[in-house]
């Protein structure tokens, strides 16, 4: 399971010209899933998302977590995070999990994050053509792969 976390001043997701998710200060989390992913990957990544100290404290130092800053979150499924670009110029998405595996894991990631944060997490729509708009704050962008824990 791979995520891209972006600290944002604002972010939104639009599908068919309808805004389905919108937050102010918080995190936009792009989530890519492979067949081998499991609840262990979800638990580890959710703890990282909730507790990474990437929000400024009163001294302007990145010393607060999403939990401590009371920020919001949007989670967007993005199979292209699992692209392989080793051969040629056309990315291969063969590692990306098929919907029957990915959808339950995606939904469980969102529920687990909601439990960890104690609040609703907004989402895009799995498999939809989404327009994601964000104002990256910092900019702060972090990539985490649950298969590289050490």
| pLDDT per position as a tens digit, 61-84 | 999 999 999 999 999 999 999 999
| pLDDT per position as a tens digit, 47-56 | 999 999 999 9
Q: Is residue 15 part of a domain?
A: yes
Q: Is residue 110 part of a domain?
A: yes
| Domain span at 36 | 2-145
> What angle separates helix 99-117 from helix 39-51, to the nearest 10 degrees?
40
- HSE toward the beta carbon, residue 84, CA cutoff 13 A: 8
pLDDT at position 150 over 80: no
Select which of 6, 14, 55, 80 is catalytic: 80
C-alpha R_g of the chain = 15
| pLDDT per position as a tens digit, 8-54 | 999 999 999 999 999 999 999 999 999 999 999 999 999 999 999 99
Q: What span, in angstroms and rounded, lies between the C-alpha atoms of 150 and 142? A: 16
Q: Is residue 74 part of a domain?
A: yes
Tell me whether strands 130-145 and 2-15 are parallel, antiparallel or unpaired: antiparallel
Select which of 78, 112, 122, 123 is catalytic: 78
Q: Is residue 26 part of a domain?
A: yes
What is residue 17's three-state secondary structure?
Answer: coil
Q: What is the sign, positive or negative, of the torsion defined by CA atoms of 93, 99, 105, 109? A: positive
In the chain, the number of structural domains is: 1
Annotation marks residue 80 as catalytic:
yes
Q: Is residue 84 part of a domain?
A: yes
Please report which residue ranges of the chain form alpha helices under DSSP H. 39-51, 66-69, 99-117
Report the pLDDT averaged over residues 78-99: 94
Select which of 6, 14, 55, 79 is catalytic: 79
CATH number at residue 90: 3.50.80.10
Q: Is residue 150 part of a domain?
A: no
User: What are 40's two structure tokens?
Assistant: 């262990």
Q: Is residue 129 part of a domain?
A: yes
Q: Is residue 102 part of a domain?
A: yes
Annotation marks residue 78 as catalytic:
yes
């Amino acid at each position: 399971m791979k995520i891209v976390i972006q600290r944002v001043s604002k972010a939104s997701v639009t599908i068919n010209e309808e805004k389905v998710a919108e937050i102010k200060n918080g995190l936009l989390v792009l989530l890519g899933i492979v067949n081998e992913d499991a609840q262990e990957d979800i638990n580890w990544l959710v703890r990282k998302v909730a507790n990474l100290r990437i929000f400024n404290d009163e001294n302007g130092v990145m010393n607060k977590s999403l939990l401590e800053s009371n920020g919001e979150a949007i989670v967007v499924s993005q199979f292209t995070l699992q692209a392989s670009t080793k051969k040629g110029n056309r990315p291969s998405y063969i590692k990306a999990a098929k919907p029957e595996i990915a959808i339950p894991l995606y939904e469980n990631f969102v529920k687990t994050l909601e439990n960890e944060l104690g609040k609703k997490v907004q989402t895009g729509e799995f498999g939809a053509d989404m327009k994601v708009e964000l104002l990256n704050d910092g900019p702060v962008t972090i990539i985490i792969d649950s298969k590289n824990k050490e």
